[in-house]
Amino acid sequence: MKPKTADRIATIVFWLLGGITVGVLLFIILQIFGRGLLTALNPKFLLGKPEAMKEGGGIFPMIISSLYLTGLTLLIALPVSLGAAIYLAEYSREGRVTGAIRFCVDSLAGLPSIVFGIFGMTLFVIYFGWGYSLIAGAFTCAILNLPTLMRSSEESIRSVPGTYREASFSLGATRWTTVRQVVLPSATPGILAGTMLTIGRILGESAAIVYTAGLFVRKAPTSPMDTAAPLASYIWYAQTEALIPDFRRVVDGGAAFLLLLVLLMNFLARRLARYYQRKKLAGGADG
Amino acid sequence: MVDETPIDDTKTRISEYSRRCADSFTRETRMEEPTKESEPRITTDSLSMSYGEFKALEDITVQVPRRSITAIIGPSGCGKSSLLRCFNRMNDLVEGCRVTGEVKLDGEDIYAPGYDVIQLRRTVGMVFQRPNPFPKTVYDNVAYGPRLSGVKDKERLNRVVEESLKKAALWEEVKGKLKGSAMNLSGGQQQRLCIARVLAVEPEVILLDEPCSALDPVATQRVEDLLAELKERYTMVIVTHNMQQAARVSDFTAFVMIENQGEPGKVVEFGDTNHMFTNPVDERTERYITGRFG
């Protein structure tokens, strides 16, 4: 075959494969929005109380549960993963310890989330006696998302040019000062983008939540010890149990709203990254 | 370029540079006081350095005199940058790097256990091959060092920033955009900013690692002029692959080279630049400076 022909065929094949990916995604988005967008944009549905056996229930406590859970999870996962990422990227010398850490992290990342759910239930809900609660769900979700959050932070830190570090050290800065003043400000866009994607994952997580945080509540949770029903786990519950007469409406509406939230998060992630990039170029990453 | 130039022509040009250097050298020696001033600032004694199994430098013994510019020249990969980085222990940051022998700053062994590396790097500043300002404002770049040593007072910082930028001959060009990003400056301006950033720490020695290799001839000229001015107050060591530059700016020269592939770099000749460029002792030095290899 002539190289030119081969090139043309390759172009067509890759174009097709790319097109299939985009097509499938578009199809899913259109399906979900087509079924539930109208419900999802209805204030009565969004701000209403859920019903267990009657029609016309809303999802307000579920939205609050989701946001609450996301916040708590980040509060736990961010400091730990950022600390570990800084250690791996800046402090550790490559060796057996870092190898072991990476192996553990990568293994964790490969586990299905239901395993984390069962683990969280055993440890936090039963052994610690926290019951179905936001805090148990948040710890479980934090462990689940630790690997990806840590790896994306580590990558962002590693991608900061070594010349910045050299410059800082040569001016008599300690490692910690260099990390704080030069490395972290430059790595912030990447870390933020990784965090936003993680938020999307937490919002969409159900398997790790149903046995730890809960799946049905009437009232929005206030204390971290309260039982909660994050949207994703409530959708799972409504669909599986089918006790609500209009469960299709609730499930479709909930799914559409969830999709909206996740799309919004990803959109924000991109915007934030771009904003920081511009700010960095315009000077004063720290001010 | 050098390879195509007839040897005679190169020699004439070199001797002309040397005369200029000799002038500045006599001016320097006149300034020297007989006491501590005449002692070298940095001395090395049988310094060897290796990266893991690979030995990069062996048996280096040189002396860097005060208030003068010492050039380290040699072909690519001969270890001149590695040698420079022994003087402020920047090699510490490279994994598997080992240094044996002695490096003394003002008579004190900087590789002695417990030696304060942070203080060393404040005394011995460094300018790198590629301009590497932080992605911060011009002001914050220069203020970085003073802030590290705890200077918080706004007025004092302003003064240090202005003085350092003036010393680096950059003030007039950037005084209106101190709050703008350093990334928006030209390459030459960025390199002078890096010099200002070093000066703000008030070092005594400045190491320059091929500071002009990423700059155009005009920017190079400005940096070289600046070095000539700074010589009055600082001890400088410059690594350069450009022999004309070494001849133009330096008072003393160390010629480093590798005999055979895989062997460590050694100092072939060390001495007065003027002398070395007009009357090299070693045959290899002569071949190198006349452009016959490297």
Chain B residues at the A interface, defined by Cβ less than 8 Å, are 88, 90, 93, 95, 118-119, 121-122, 125-126, 128, 130, 132-138, 140, 144-145, 148-149, 179-184, 194, 197-198, 201
User: Rounded CA gap, B222 and A204, in Å?
Assistant: 59
Residue from A92, A164, A171, A177 whose CB has the most chain B CBs within 10 Å, to mutate: A171
pLDDT at B18: 54
Question: In whole angstroms, how far apart are CA A58 and each of A34, A110, A231, A254, A282?
Answer: 19, 35, 11, 9, 46
| pLDDT tens track for B78-96 | 889 999 999 999 998 888 8
Cβ–Cβ gap B140/A284 under 8 Å: yes
pLDDT at A276: 73
| pLDDT tens track for B54-84 | 899 999 999 999 999 999 999 888 889 999 9
Q: Which of A185-189, B35-39, B91-95 has the lowest mean pLDDT?
A: B35-39
Domain membership of residue B62 (yes or no) is: yes
| pLDDT tens track for A10-29 | 999 999 999 999 999 999 99
Domain membership of residue B284 (yes or no) is: yes
Chain B environment of A163 (Cβ under 8 Å): 128, 130, 132
Domain membership of residue B267 (yes or no) is: yes
Q: Which amino acid is at B239?
A: V
- Chains A and B form CB pairs within 8 A to the count of 90
Q: Which 8-state DSSP code applies to residue A125?
A: I
- Whether residue A167 lies within 8 A of chain B, CB to CB, comes out as yes
Find the CB nearest A174 among B118, B135, B137. B118
Cβ–Cβ gap B136/A285 under 8 Å: yes
Chain A environment of B179 (Cβ under 8 Å): 283-284
Q: Which residue of B has its CA nearest to A177?
A: B148
B16 or B208, greater pLDDT: B208
Cβ–Cβ gap B181/A164 under 8 Å: no
User: Rounded CA gap, A75 and A88, in Å?
Assistant: 21
Q: Which amino acid is at B140?
A: D
Mean pLDDT calculated for residue range A88-106: 88
Domain membership of residue B200 (yes or no) is: no
Chain B environment of A282 (Cβ under 8 Å): 180-181
The gap from C-alpha A130 to its chain's centroid, in whole angstroms, comes to: 24
The structural domain count of chain B equals 1
Cβ–Cβ gap B181/A284 under 8 Å: yes
Domain membership of residue B138 (yes or no) is: no
User: Rounded CA gap, A150 and A23, in Å?
Assistant: 31
Domain membership of residue B172 (yes or no) is: no
Residue from B119, B134, B147 whose CB has the most chain A CBs within 10 Å, to mutate: B134
Find the CB nearest B180 among A168, A283, A287. A283
Which residues are B51's β-sheet partners?
Answer: B54, B97
pLDDT at B182: 93
Distance from CA of B204 to the nearest CA of A (A): 13
Q: Provide DSSP, B78-116.
A: SSHHHHHHHTTTGGGGSTTEEEEEEEEETTEETTSTT--
Chain B environment of A94 (Cβ under 8 Å): 95
Q: Write out residues 64-93 of A within 8 Å (CB-CB) of B.
A: 93
Chain A environment of B148 (Cβ under 8 Å): 171-173, 177
User: Rounded CA gap, A175 and A181, in Å?
Assistant: 10
pLDDT higher than threshold 70 for residue B37: no
- Whether residue A162 lies within 8 A of chain B, CB to CB, comes out as no
Find the CB nearest B148 among A164, A173, A284. A173
pLDDT higher than threshold 90 for residue A190: no
Domain membership of residue B184 (yes or no) is: no
Cβ–Cβ gap B88/A170 under 8 Å: yes
pLDDT higher than threshold 60 for residue B24: no
pLDDT higher than threshold 90 for residue B15: no
A197 or B30, greater pLDDT: A197
- Whether residue A181 lies within 8 A of chain B, CB to CB, comes out as yes
pLDDT at B253: 93
**Beta pairing class for B54-60 and B42-51:** antiparallel
- Whether residue A119 lies within 8 A of chain B, CB to CB, comes out as no
Burial annotation B252-279 (CB, 10 A radius, 16+ → b, else e): bbbbbbbeeeeebbbbbbbbbbbbbbbe
| pLDDT tens track for A43-59 | 999 999 998 888 888 89
Helix (H, G, I), strand (E, B) or coil at B145: helix
Find the CB nearest B181 among A165, A172, A281. A281
User: Rounded CA gap, B172 and B156, in Å?
Assistant: 20
Cβ–Cβ gap A169/B95 under 8 Å: no
Q: Write out residues 252-281 of A within 8 Å (CB-CB) of B.
A: 280-281
- Return the structure tokens found at B247: 């001849």
Q: Which residue of A has its CA nearest to B194?
A: A167
Average pLDDT over chain B reads 86
CB contact at 8 A, B183 and B141? no
**What is the torsional sign of CA A104, A105, A110, A115?**
positive
pLDDT higher than threshold 50 for residue A62: yes
| pLDDT tens track for B90-125 | 998 888 899 999 999 998 999 999 999 999 999 999
Domain membership of residue B192 (yes or no) is: no
* Domain region containing B56: 2-130+205-217+231-289
Find the CB nearest A283 among B119, B137, B149. B137
* CATH (domain of B40): 3.40.50.300
Q: Which residue of A has its CA nearest to B116?
A: A172
User: Rounded CA gap, A149 and A73, in Å?
Assistant: 12
Domains and CATH numbers, chain A: 57-281 (1.10.3720.10)
- Whether residue A186 lies within 8 A of chain B, CB to CB, comes out as yes
Provide the pLDDT confidence category of residue B141 given band limits of 50, 70 and 90: very high
Provide the pLDDT confidence category of residue B2 given band limits of 50, 70 and 90: very low
pLDDT above 90 covers a percentage of chain B that reads 61
User: Rounded CA gap, A235 and A223, in Å?
Assistant: 23
Distance from CA of B209 to the nearest CA of A (A): 12
Which residues are B63's β-sheet partners?
Answer: B43
All residues at 6 or more sequence positions from B255 whose CB lies less than 8 Å from its CB, including other chains: B73, B74, B267, B268, B269, B270, B276, B282, B284, B285, B288, B289
CB contact at 8 A, A251 and A33? no
